[in-house]
Structure 1
Amino acid sequence: MSAIPKLFVTAATGQLGRGVIGALREHVPAAAIVAGVREASLDTPAVAALREQGIEVRVADYTQPATLANAFEGIDRLLLISGNDIGHRVPQHRHVIDAAKAAGVTLLAYTSILHADTSPLFLAEEHRDTEQALIASGVPYVLLRNGWYTEVFTWRLPAALASGVLAGASGEGRTSSAARADYARAAAVVLATEGHAGQVYELAGDAGFTLGELAALVRKVTGKPIVYHDMAPAAFRDASVEQGVPEPFARILSDTDAGVAQGALFDTSGTLSRLIGRPTTPYQDTIGAFLTTPSDGDGNTGHG
């Protein structure tokens, strides 16, 4: 391995990927970073911005193993940001793992989901399968079991403000969310520093909140009347479909809320704040920023 390891970030033009690269720049020179993108992204402003920083860009498409073999040549440490093609992610992730092993990558960090091994969430299934494949591969690994991004909650707010009702199915369950930038910084620390091989990091915000408390925060910030309406998961799913949410996504929403009611996204370990060396971003800050400058908010419902 060279004195400064060569670090590869997959999905580098996505929101999490951009955050990781930005955080890496605080640890290593641009020449130590390689950004992986799909071929369709090569002529985008996001890729141009990476190249302007002196960051090498290589095509690395999870669905095209041949691109991965070339992309990982000479790479020491690699971050596999989980894909967003739900239902097809395991074979795509296996392509990355196999190519990393063949290329002699010495550390592969994977963005999984909080408490993946025991989580009741539907979304956890593919993460468990990927974790098992990574462990079985023999490639030194780090599991970054990310909790929820606070930004994920912003998609519900415009409709809630319009109707005065924030609907959900999580009861009094609490979510220990953190800002996407917090998770990005944790991934950068793992890539850029020593001593993380074999670690399983359960990453979550320092404080949790219920959807009822989220509604109260929205009332406080906006001055508008809004209440939380708790529903059975099936009823919440059906109501979401009636409001125009595609059925597969409505299923994920209701399943996630049901899991929150069981504590699936609650964690008090403080691992994330210790890893990044500071407290996690309070959910009040992220939600408050969205409500006061909605054009800067993030309606992306995805989870890295």
Structure 2
Amino acid sequence: MTISEHIAITGATGQLGRLVIAELLRIAPGAHLVGIVRDPVAAKDLAERGVELRTANYEDPAAVKAALTGVDKVLLISSSVIGQRVRQHGHVIDAAQAAGVKLLSYTSILHADTTALALAEEHRKTEALIRASGVPFVFLRNGWYTENYTGNIAAAIQHGAVLGSAADGRISFAARADYAAAAAAVLAGRDNQAGQIYELAGDNGYTLADYAAEIAKQSGKPVVYKDLREADYKAALASIGLPEAFAALLADSDAKAANGALYDASRQLSALIGRPTTPLAESVSAALAR
């Protein structure tokens, strides 16, 4: 990486975006970081740390094009708007092509090309758009974030149960910070990363029963894993306020995890970041401390 490189991060104020920027500030202090944000006021702290803010959102092609002008590398953090991702991502891809970006990194999903997860369809289509654009790319195929479950740890303790449809399937959890470190390593790397596809997942696989047992161990409260039929798990997710379509996707992912869809033993993530991924016990401890 050269000091003059401009590195842009979309969704810079999101949970992953902030972690990527923090890691880049640590490992690449000479880089010129560009945070693509919807609301500069919400990113005031990033500006105070030397990050250049440019205002744009995935729905505004002209703003995205302006925001990527003069940028060398881009991290396209996938949109959270299920059903609109391909179109929104297309605006960023078109802008990267117009700007002559040297590397476009995209946060895809584990085994995007072969997985049965319904959640992967928009990622596959986005990967195809990137390939067709001719922009040099890296696919960061992220596995499951441990926070997908630990974000609901208080409810699990309150009700004494972790709900899911994964049966005894093993899930290769990794902390969001682990995936952020991987993205930063690629963006800051000196080696030519173009064309690389990383299948990123935690070093170890855990069942949801393992997860429930870890909560019980650390909290001192009785917590067990309750396996549900996919339809019942979807209903449970919808009952706590998740949109029905999103609840269906999460339930589908859980059910397919029973057959190994969220498991990967390649340890590409720890190899990329140069350290072991965050153990489940550590993530549970951090969640309980909040």
Report TM bin, short chain: over 0.9
Quote the residue 1:155 is aligned against.
Answer: 151
Q: Aligned AA for 1:54? A: G
Quote the residue 1:216 is aligned against.
Answer: 213
Distance in 2 (alpha carbons) for counterparts of 1:141 and 1:106? 8
Q: Aligned AA for 1:27? A: I
Q: Please tell me whether residue 110 in structure 1 is matched to residue 106 in structure 2.
A: yes
Quote the residue 1:232 is aligned against.
Answer: 229
Distance in 2 (alpha carbons) for counterparts of 1:29 and 1:2? 11
User: TM-score, normalising length from structure 2?
Assistant: 0.95
Quote the residue 2:66 is aligned against.
Answer: 70
What runs of 5+ residues in structure 1 fail to find an aligned partner?
Answer: 297-304
The secondary structure found in structure 2 opposite 1:120 is coil
Shift of 1:31: 5.5
Contact 2:151 2:287 in 1 (8 A): no
Out of 214-223 and 247-256, give the one that drifted further. Answer: 247-256
Quote the residue 1:192 is aligned against.
Answer: 188
The secondary structure found in structure 2 opposite 1:229 is strand
The structure-2 alpha-carbon separation of the partners of 1:169 and 1:67, relative to structure 1 and needing over 3 Å to count, comes to same
User: TM-score, normalising length from structure 1?
Assistant: 0.91
Quote the residue 2:161 is aligned against.
Answer: 165
Quote the residue 1:271 is aligned against.
Answer: 268
Q: Please tell me whether residue 125 in structure 1 is matched to residue 125 in structure 2.
A: no
Distance in 2 (alpha carbons) for counterparts of 1:240 and 1:58? 36
Out of 29-38 and 95-104, give the one that drifted further. Answer: 29-38
Offset from partner CA, 1:22-68 (integer Å, 9 cap, x none)? 11112323651111111xx1122xx1111111211111211100111
Quote the residue 1:140 is aligned against.
Answer: 136
Shift of 1:246: 3.6
| Match runs of 1:5-84 below 5 Å | 5-29=5-29, 32-38=32-38, 41-44=39-42, 47-84=43-80
How many residues are aligned here? 289
The structure-2 alpha-carbon separation of the partners of 1:50 and 1:239, relative to structure 1 and needing over 3 Å to count, comes to closer
Quote the residue 2:199 is aligned against.
Answer: 202
Out of 27-36 and 269-278, give the one that drifted further. Answer: 27-36
Q: Aligned AA for 1:85? A: V
